[in-house]
Amino acid sequence: MSVRRRAAALAITAVLCGAAAPVAVAAPSPSPSPSAPGLPAGLYGTKDPTYDGVWRQSLAFLAQKIELVTPAAQSVDWLVGQQCDSGAFPSYRDASEPCDAKTVADTNATAAAVQALVELGVHREVVDNGVTWLKSVQNADGGWGYNPGSPSDANSTGVVTGALARAGVPLAEVTKAGGKTPYTALQTFALPCGGEDGGAFAYQPDKKGVLTANADATAAAVLGAMGKGLAAGNYNAVKAPVCHKGTGLTPEQSAQNGAFHLAKALGGSGHLDLPPMPGAEESAPQPDFGNTADAVVALAASGHKDKAAGAVAYLEKHAQGWAKEGGPAATAQLVLAAHATGVDARDFGGVDLVRQLNATGPAPAATAVPSPTATAPSKPADTSSDDEGLGLWWIIGIGLAFGAGIGFLLSGRRKNQQL
């Protein structure tokens, strides 16, 4: 369970106990929520950003990008300003002071920021600097820990691997001594087929070397093993997930094993549960909306969005309050889950998630919406598409926005930590 996600869970538990060509238009009202006192201009969200500032900003950008929204230049500048000269991003820092030995670098934040800027197609020099730093702190086993020098874990390795792949880095060439690659590390966290948790990934082995299934780690590992980022496209369903037995599995086979586990875990209630809080009294399990959304994206990205349909329906019905209270990262997770499965994020259980996300930060520079059609003039057509098609529409949207005179754009994952 991550610091970022556990903090959100605590806060939320307390509160809750056929597309037409896009047309660029001015960003919609209402105005975004004002920044909380003491928080810098350009930052999304009003809550303490200490543990998730860069992460939530990056995730918001990824979700906006797939919905053809252009974030404000001020917001992008804030994210770029978080990078240290080394190329690393911390979880959050006061950019008025230079990075020093006390600045804690964060591989997850760096990977999320790199991926967000790649998808936006801006500040390639920042991307390259971040990539260089991530490669420089790769562990000997081929993976990454949450901070440089910490033991590798499945979440960090998966997130970094996906970001490097989206940045165009050949993952087979990201090796350490002995030829160990990110795939090598990911497979050390994989549970073999058979048993209740067969095919899952663990966050890390325990002190005795035992692997325990972890849904969040599994979702991250599936995306990483497939070389896909946090904003997976809308893929058609293929065959039912299968758990591949034996050793020497390919990255694709390991990813399919993880998908097999996630499909099974979501097959009953349609959602994952929060693990019990250490020291807390035993109580009824609480739904884990964030991990459920991540599992949906992983299933869709691995070709099994049909297996995520029940979970998406559950999120549409039950997760709106969680997303609104959780802020930009939580809302972005639902947008990503909706997009990955072809569901309309602008009418997600009756909620316009895109509008809700936009309102957590500075007003976007522009947004692209589908033109009304003759057959359905009252409701915009769905603009969901795969990654290849999206790039073209994004370019068209930006070009139209410029022509109209409109100016200019990732629940970190530390295991078992508490604020």
| Cα atoms in the 13 Å half-sphere on the side-chain side of 238 | 12
At residue 5 the predicted structure's pLDDT band, cuts being 50, 70 and 90, is: very low
In this predicted structure, the answer to whether residue 277 has a pLDDT above a threshold of 80 is no
Write the pLDDT tens digit of every residue in 308-366. 999 999 999 999 999 999 999 999 999 999 999 999 999 999 999 999 999 999 999 98
**Of 199-208, 246-255, 388-397, minimum mean pLDDT range:** 388-397
In this predicted structure, the answer to whether residue 30 has a pLDDT above a threshold of 70 is no
Write the pLDDT tens digit of every residue in 375-411. 333 333 343 333 333 333 333 343 433 333 333 233 3
The pLDDT of residue 176 is 87
Q: How is residue 243 written in tokens? A: 């758990």
Write the pLDDT tens digit of every residue in 117-154. 999 999 999 999 999 999 999 999 999 999 999 999 99
In this predicted structure, the answer to whether residue 43 has a pLDDT above a threshold of 50 is yes
- What is the pTM for the complete model shown? 0.81
Q: How is residue 90 written in tokens? A: 């911390």
In this predicted structure, the answer to whether residue 263 has a pLDDT above a threshold of 60 is yes
